[in-house]
Amino acid sequence: MRKLAIIGASGYGKVVADIARRNGYKEIVFLDDDDSIHECGGYPVIGKSTESGMIDADVIIGIGNAGVRKQIQESIPDEKLVTLIHPDAVVAEDVVVGKGSVVMAGAVINPGVRIGKGCIINTCSSVDHDCEVGDYVHIAVGSHLCGTVSVGDGTWIGAGATVSNNVSICSACMIGAGAVVVKNIVEAGSYVGLPAKKIK
Ligand SMILES: CC(C)(COP(=O)(O)OP(=O)(O)OC[C@H]1O[C@@H](n2cnc3c(N)ncnc32)[C@H](O)[C@@H]1OP(=O)(O)O)[C@@H](O)C(=O)NCCC(=O)NCCS
């Protein structure tokens, strides 16, 4: 199998490397702009984030910040980008997952779901039937989207949060850890608590 370059030698990048290895990548390298980092998860850092075009390798972004992830992903030709799904994630057959997205261990994605590009569907999260997840969304560890939820581009659903069925959340929102979203959110911002309310 081909080589994989992961941009971002972070904790998240380390998890991405583990998923890549389980998907059969034999050679994994990191690219990072911090000169002081030489390895990540046992794999070497061999250059800067801008150097992926010079390497004959598939590419994925291992950066948690959605804005930075988007900026870097959109500078990379689509044919170099891959999608990674942990072998212990459960993903229904008709689910569409966009380029540059990563689905982690224990995640469950049910039928009729569309996940955009550059998303993180994190460990043990779930996305129930017919959800529409935009681009560069992060569904954090242990959070749950009930059926027919829509999540706008760049929104982050915090760890352990729950979004009730049929609810829409607009772009650029931060849903706090443990929040329960029971009504549509139409204004960008941070929302916490049960029921989730805007904090600023
Ligand atoms: C919601 C969040 C983004 C707010 O961060 P912030 O803008 O820096 O806000 P602050 O920490 O200044 O908190 C502002 C207020 O909201 C409260 N608050 C913050 N997060 C909260 C949460 N998840 N649930 C309930 N209240 C919360 C704070 O206690 C504080 O209340 P106060 O004004 O009465 O003291 C952040 O706290 C959060 O939950 N992030 C998610 C982390 C996560 O899920 N990581 C997953 C990694 S996989």
Residues facing 144 on adjacent strands: 126, 162
165: left (phi over 0), alpha (psi -120 to 50) or beta: beta
Task: Answer yes or no: is the C-beta of 122 below 6 A from any ligand 1 atom.
Answer: yes
Q: Which domain holds residue 186?
A: 84-193
Q: Is the CB of 141 under 6 A from ligand 1?
A: yes
Share of the chain above pLDDT 70, in %: 100
CATH of the domain at 20: 3.40.50.20
- The predicted-structure confidence for 86-115, as pLDDT tens digits, reads as follows 999 999 999 999 999 999 999 999 999 999
The CB of 193 under 6 Å from ligand 1? The reply is yes
Q: What pLDDT is attached to residue 198? A: 98
Could you read off the pLDDT of 148-173 as tens digits, one per residue? 999 999 999 999 999 999 999 999 99
Instruction: Determine whether 138 is an active site residue.
Output: no
Same domain, 72 and 91: no
pLDDT at 186: 98
Amino acid 82: pLDDT = 98
55 and 91 both lie in a single domain = no
Residue 111 lies in a domain: yes
* Closest ligand 1 atom number to CA of residue 191: 1
Residues 113, 162: one domain?
A: yes
Cβ(98) to ligand 1 under 6 A? no
Q: 51 and 121 in contact (C-beta within 8 Å)?
A: no
Give the model's confidence band at 1: pLDDT under 50 very low, under 70 low, under 90 confident, else very high.
low
- Cβ atoms of 119 and 138 closer than 8 Å: yes
Residue ending a domain, choose from 42, 65, 80: 80
Check which CATH number belongs to the domain holding 100 and give it: 2.160.10.10
Q: Determine the average pLDDT of the residues in 66-90.
A: 97
pLDDT, mean of residues 18-24: 97
* pLDDT at site 2: 85
198 within a domain of the structure (yes/no) = no
The protein residue with its alpha carbon nearest to ligand 1, atom 7, reads 190
Looking at the domain assignment, is residue 157 inside a domain? yes
Please tell me whether residues 51 and 102 are part of one structural domain.
no
